[in-house]
Structure 1
Amino acid sequence: MSLEIGQPVADFSASATGNTTVTLSELRGKQVVIYFYPKASTPGCTTEGGDFRDRKSAFDAANTVILGVSRDGLRAQENFKAKQGFNFALISDKDETVCAHFDVIKLKKMYGKEHLGIERSTFLIDADGKLANEWRGVKVPGHVDEVLAAAQALNANR
């Protein structure tokens, strides 16, 4: 399934930290940043999550909810969130339903071996539930600032 800028993002529900379920359609009226990261508690993912955490008030001011997604189980996500003081929900996508929804499972190489894993990606969904922006193959430094600027611009144009 391919997502296209300007097209509605199909609804989904997924288990998240805090013993909650996130349902995309219930977030209508707010912009949503969904960022996919390969694995909880690894260096790049910790840095990226910290960058989102540190800018959460600016995202809030831009009417934007932050959601992090990986294939880790809920316990790993809860531990990651607690240890890093993340102030947003992390989704556990062990069955890769949400990952498939956004087509972020890619063939990757590590130490010369190929495996399927999450390609670090971020999606910005507008308040009407349409895809406004996407970043694939993300490099962590400076990324969150770029996403924040896009969220602020989108909110300003409402």
Structure 2
Amino acid sequence: MTLAIGQPVPDFTADATGDTRVSLSELRGRQVVVYFYPKASTPGCTTEGGDFRDHKAAFDAANTEILGVSRDGIRAQENFKAKQGFNFALISDKDETLCRLFDVIKLKKLYGKEHMGIERSTFLIDAEGRLAREWRGVKVPGHVEEVLAAAQALHAES
């Protein structure tokens, strides 16, 4: 199954930081940004998370929840969140349930070696639970501002 713009995103429940579980259905009525990053505590992922952290008040004003997702275990996610002062939940997707749902596991090359890993991607889900926008193969600089503008425009329409 491939997610398509305008289609409902299947409900999911996942383990998150702060000893919590996050369910998409519980966030109905709010927009949700789900962003996938390759690995906690790496430079690009730290920068991207910091950008979301620094813009959280603006996302809140646009009625938008932020969820960061990687295949790291919950302890690594807790450490990453605490060290960087992230003010949103990080999800541990060790079994790749969400990665598969959003189709973000791709063949990647690093130092000439191929491996399967997370392609940096972001998804904006509207307040009714439908996929509104997607960004794949994300480059970090300027990305969060682009997602924020989309979230604000979507919120203004509702």
TM-score, normalised via structure 2 length: 1.00
CA offsets 1:42-85 (integer angstroms, 9 cap, x no match):
00000000000000000000000000000000000000000000
CA drift at 1:123: 0.1
Alignment of 1:28-67 (within 5 A): 28-67=28-67
- What's the RMSD between the two structures over aligned residues? 0.3
Structure 1 Cα separation of the partners of residues 21 and 27 of structure 2: 12
Q: Which residue of 1 aligns with 2:129?
A: 129
Is 1:83 aligned with 2:96? no
**What's the counterpart of residue 95 of structure 2?**
95
Equivalent-residue separation in structure 1 for 2:60 and 2:118 (angstroms): 27
In the TM superposition, residue 119 of structure 1 has moved relative to its aligned partner by 0.1
Which residue pairs with 1:13 in the alignment? 13
> What amino acid is the match of 1:61?
A
TM-score by length of 1: 1.00
CA distance in 2, matches of 1:37, 1:82: 17
Question: 3-state SS of the aligned residue for 2:115?
Answer: strand
Q: 1:140 & 1:70 partners in 2: Cα distance?
A: 16
Percent identity of paired positions between Structure 1 and Structure 2: 84
Ranges of 4+ aligned residues in structure 1 off by more than 4 Å = none
Unaligned runs of 5+ in 2: none
- Per the alignment, residue 116 of structure 2 pairs with 116
* Secondary structure of residue in 2 paired with 1:50: helix
Ranges in structure 1 where 5+ consecutive residues have no aligned partner: none
Rounded to whole Å, the distance in 2 between the matches of 1:69 and 1:46 is 13
Counterpart amino acid of 2:142? Answer: G
Q: How many Å apart are 1:122 and its aligned residue?
A: 0.1
**Offset at residue 87 of structure 1 (A):** 0.1
Q: Which amino acid aligns with 1:74?
A: I
Q: Per-residue deviation at 1:155?
A: 0.1
